[in-house]
Amino acid sequence: MDVTPDEFPTSAYIGGAWVTSKDRFAVINPATGRDIASVPNLTAEDARRAIDAASAALPAWSAKTAKERAAVLRRWYELILGESEALAQLMTAEQGKPLAESRGEVAYGASFVEWFAEEGKRAYGRTIPTTASTKRYITIKQPIGVVAAITPWNFPIAMITRKVAPALAAGCTIIVKPAEDTPLCALALAKLAEKAGVPAGVLNVVTTQDARGVGQALCADGRVRKLTFTGSTEVGKILYRQCADTVKKLTLELGGNAPLIIFDDANLEQAVAGAMASKYRNAGQTCVCANRILVQAGIYDRFASALAAAAEKLVVGPGASTGVNLGPLINAEAIAKVESLMADAVQKGGTVKTGGAKDAAGSLFYKPTVLTGVTADMDIVSQEIFGPVAALIKFETDDEAIALANSTPFGLAAYLFSQNIHRAWTAAEKLEAGMVGVNEGIFSNEVVPFGGVKESGLGREGAAEGLDEYLETKFICLGGM
């Protein structure tokens, strides 16, 4: 069937079968508070059934040639694009982001399927010059095996395709546990994968509210050879520990506290546009959002005024409404966190230049906010905001900016704006982050590696590095030559 907002799978997907259960939970539209649908609330035992299915499907799928797997992935990519509008509307309904952003995410998510369909053909080994005339040395790349993927709610299509596409391209099979807030996009993707010819058991989707129990089942089973997770550092550390007993390979894309540095020689218009794109996309609910905006004293007042003026032009409302570019936060806990961080900052001397309160659009909407006079003792500096609040910190020297930017256990993304190439290059080298945008507020795409350093995670997604995460290197020594 075609996937539309009114007609999409509401059953889990295990071993090529659509699975239901008596216990179900509601999927809620954050803009309206109304139920969209209900999906099965599966258990740890169901997760083990999915591992059974993935294990059974692994030999045949891994035995296919890279070209054969690429053909299936290519069909999946084309089906995703063919249903792009329906998928975008579904995403906006369950996640809340404006429809324009949802359309962009569908295309972004599909791009990983297209990229890895081709990149899987380039899982090259190598020959190594021998150390003895009777021996020859060769390496080959082989799929790591069954993979478990735990994905977040903020990018409910792209964070799945960025994991599933390289896994399938490499010859692995996979179990996906989507976030309980946004399971419908995952199920829609599974339906299109089935239609594309992905064999039974190669892709499985387990919907659940028992994240702890299902996560433990996936981590404890020795047949699962890799775990890939996008989410909070707190949960990532728990999963890291749980995978230790079976020594799984891990890709962890965890929390961030991204600095965005505006040097006083920056192009003001360019810097404001970059900060807007980085800070307010998805209502500030991305792991690479600018969390701390560090502005040099010489440009601070002009930048603050220009950013506030730009933020005031944003239209807040339900994502499906025409002209809206700032949707709701995902749930009540998210709103409560933003309000708590704002209250602490204001109590400690911060000044609200614009916004600073809930929006009249609904209980989960927050006004685009610019906060000035932010200091290091405020909670908003050390915690990931995950909301539409731009926290501006003044600095004097380049060394001070770098020290402030690096004064965090996190190191996912960083941004800087300067027209001086020497200053920009030097700062980019010194910033402790896995990704740095120079005069650019959005940099992620399928052909570049995505990932962090320090407590922001392990491994990379996207690019050639993203395929390597699902492959083992085997050395073969040919003797008696």
- Rg of the chain over Cα atoms, rounded to whole angstroms, equals 23
Residue 153 and residue 303: Cα distance in Å, rounded? 32
Q: What residues contact residue 116 under an 8 Å CB cut-off, 6+ apart? A: 73, 165, 166, 168, 169, 466, 467
Considering 219, 243, 287, 289, which one is annotated as catalytic?
287
Closest CA to 11 of 49, 39, 48: 39
The Cα-based distances of 246 to 57, 209, 217, 224 in angstroms read 21, 25, 12, 9
Orientation of helix 297-312 relative to helix 268-280, angle to 10°: 60
Distance, CA of 278 to CA of 285 (rounded, Å): 10
Catalytic: which of 119, 253, 446, 469? 253
For the question of residue 287 being annotated catalytic, the response is: yes
**Residues whose CB falls within 8 Å of the CB of residue 324, separated by 6 or more in sequence, listed in order:** 98, 99, 315, 316, 317, 318
Report the chain's terminal Cα–Cα distance, integer Å: 57
CA distance 15 to 199: 9
Burial of 347 (0-12, 13-18, 19+ CB in 10 A): exposed
Determine contact, residues 204/54, Cβ cutoff 8 Å: yes
> 219 an active-site residue?
no
What are residue 229's DSSP bridge partners? 150, 252
The H-or-E segment that residue 47 falls in is helix 44-63
Residues designated as active site: 253, 287
